Amino acid sequence: MIIKALRIGLGQLIIFLDWISRPAKLKRTPEAQASVAQSASNLALYQFHACPFCVKTRRTLHKLNVPVALRDAKNDAQARNDLEQQGGKIKVPCLRIEENGQSTWLYESKAIIAYLNERFATA
């Protein structure tokens, strides 16, 4: 009981610190931003709201100004089931990449951030 309360409190602190220290969004021309939005339409991030690694990944999405669908794998039973059945395990963060009719499930925040930087930092 105490551990659960501590975990919830720490999660809320992490979210608050993220909110007050959020980096500025990357500025693009409207055409370039539309292109990024189109490219990101095939991405979905499966995450837990207060997970530090998920927060780190969402900060990168915010900084790069990439609109990715967020799936709550903790509170949304369908998202959790998709993550387990299609991705292979319940582990977050996980980026689902849809390309050419195939899904790729990318785990680990460092790998996801590297992918996002490579694909969108110069877009």
What superfamily does domain 2-23+33-120 belong to in CATH? Glutaredoxin (3.40.30.10)
Distance between CA 59 and CA 65 in Å, rounded? 10
- Looking at the predicted structure, is the pLDDT value of residue 92 above 80? yes
pLDDT of residue 123: 58
Q: How confident is the model at residue 6 (pLDDT cuts 50, 70, 90)?
A: confident
Rounded average pLDDT over 88-109: 95
For residue 98, the surrounding DSSP H or E stretch is: strand 94-99
Residue identified by tokens 């689902």 is 96
Instruction: Give the DSSP H or E segment for 22.
Output: none
